[in-house]
Structure 1
Amino acid sequence: MIALIRYMFTVLLLSQRHLAPLLLFVGLLAVLTSSDSGPLAATYGSVAGAMLVCSVWSTMALIGLEDPTHRSVVVVTAGSRLRVLLGSVCTALLWCLPLTAAGLVLPLLFGSHTFTAADAVLGVEAQLTCALTGIAIGVLCSRLLFRRQGHALVASLVLLLAALLGRGVSPVNILLGDLQNASDSADLLGSTGVLLVVAAGVLAGAVAVTQAVGLRRN
């Protein structure tokens, strides 16, 4: 699995398809957190929202790098379709880790905040919750399920809006609501940790659905 993840990560970097979502992430952080001096919990809510969009885009780009023929070769080499799908998910999550670090630091440079250990933990939890949810959406809207890019784009936008705006529909909506109304990061560490676990479950479900549909098609 390590070799597979290394291969996929290398292909993603060489393709340069990571640049567009990366620039979008940094741009959103600059716009949403510039000159901000409010509570860091609310600021990290904005950062987490940017992570959601970026993780969806990055995952769809990663899975869409290979045409069906090339992917079949990778599947044969790796041993199974599930192994390749899990490798894609792990690679997407690995790509989100340096973005998470940037999401912690850049708001401190763009704005004026008092930074604590609780803020750091909350920022990581919030961004990973959105990253896992975004990867789940990216997997469901990838080339593995949608042959036409236009259909995949529409589906991803619908799921993004549902995740952001649907009350109680996704851990992201609950998370962002909690962060916007919080004044102390320490008060949210427990509930945000629970939402992180829920987001991991959402991703596991998305992988299971994608794998089941892929097996039926083949």
Structure 2
Amino acid sequence: MTALVRYRLTTLLLSQRYLAPLLLFTALVTVLTSNDTGPLTATHAASGLAMLLAATWLTTALAGLEDPTHRAVVTAATGGHRRLATGTVLAALVVCLPLTVLGLVLPLLVGTHDPTPVDLLLGAEAQLTCGCTGAAVGLLAARPVVRRQGYGLLLALVLLLVLTLGKGLPPVNLLLTRLSGHHRSAELVGSTGLLLALAAALLGAAAVVAHAVAVRRD
């Protein structure tokens, strides 16, 4: 599995499809948190929203790296659709890790904050929650679930709008609402951990759907 994840990441790097979502993430975090002197919880909300968009884009790119013929070859070489789907999910999570670090450090460089370990823990939880949710959306909007890129983009936009604007809808809208409520970080760490678990479950469910569709179409 390690070799498969390394292959997926190497292919992504060589394709340079990571550049646009990386630039989007950096630009959003910088603009939304520049000269910020408010509570870090609101800053984490901005970084989480940027992570949601970037993770969706990156996962869509990872899942759609190969055309159908090349994908069939990779599937056979890696031992089946399940291993390929698992490798794609793990690669997406690996990509989200450096973005999480960037999302924690960049606001501290462009704003004025005095973070505590609890603040950083909450920020990591928030970004990973949005990262897992974005990866789930990316899997559902990419091949083999959606074969045409235009339809996949439309589906991703609809899902992202529902997740971010659906009032009280976990994990994303509920998370952003709580983070924007100017609570103390210590008050939100536990509930955000539960939302992270829910987001991980959504990612697992999306991987199951993607695997089932791939098996059926082959």
Normalised TM-score (structure 1): 0.98
Match of 1:198 in 2: 198
Match of 1:117 in 2: 117
Match of 1:13 in 2: 13
Alignment of 1:1-218 (within 5 A): 1-218=1-218
CA–CA separation in structure 2 for the residues paired with 1:129 and 1:207: 16
Deviations 1:70-127 (A, max 9, x none): 1111111111101001101110110110010000000001110111001110000000
CA–CA separation in structure 2 for the residues paired with 1:29 and 1:200: 23
Tell me the number of residue pairs that the alignment of Structure 1 and Structure 2 aligns.
218
CA–CA separation in structure 2 for the residues paired with 1:163 and 1:133: 9
CA–CA separation in structure 2 for the residues paired with 1:79 and 1:143: 18
Q: Could you say what secondary structure the match of 1:169 adopts? A: coil
The Cα shift of 1:169 comes to 2.9
The Cα shift of 1:183 comes to 3.0
CA–CA separation in structure 2 for the residues paired with 1:184 and 1:169: 22
Q: Could you say what secondary structure the match of 2:169 adopts? A: coil
The Cα shift of 1:69 comes to 0.9
Q: Could you say what secondary structure the match of 1:174 adopts? A: helix
Structure 2 unaligned residues grouped into runs of 5+: none
Q: Could you say what secondary structure the match of 1:127 adopts? A: helix
CA–CA separation in structure 2 for the residues paired with 1:47 and 1:84: 30
The Cα shift of 1:182 comes to 2.9
CA–CA separation in structure 2 for the residues paired with 1:77 and 1:212: 19
C-alpha RMSD of the superposition: 0.8
Runs of 4+ in 1 over 3 A off after TM superposition: none
CA–CA separation in structure 2 for the residues paired with 1:5 and 1:18: 15
CA–CA separation in structure 2 for the residues paired with 1:166 and 1:183: 21
The Cα shift of 1:207 comes to 1.0
Between 1:168-177 and 1:146-155, the stretch displaced more is: 168-177
Deviations 1:166-205 (A, max 9, x none): 1233301110000000331111000000000000111111
Between 1:167-176 and 1:185-194, the stretch displaced more is: 167-176
Indicate if the aligned counterparts of 2:45 and 2:180 stay in contact, CA closer than 8 A: yes
CA–CA separation in structure 2 for the residues paired with 1:124 and 1:135: 16
Supply the AA of the counterpart residue of 1:142: A
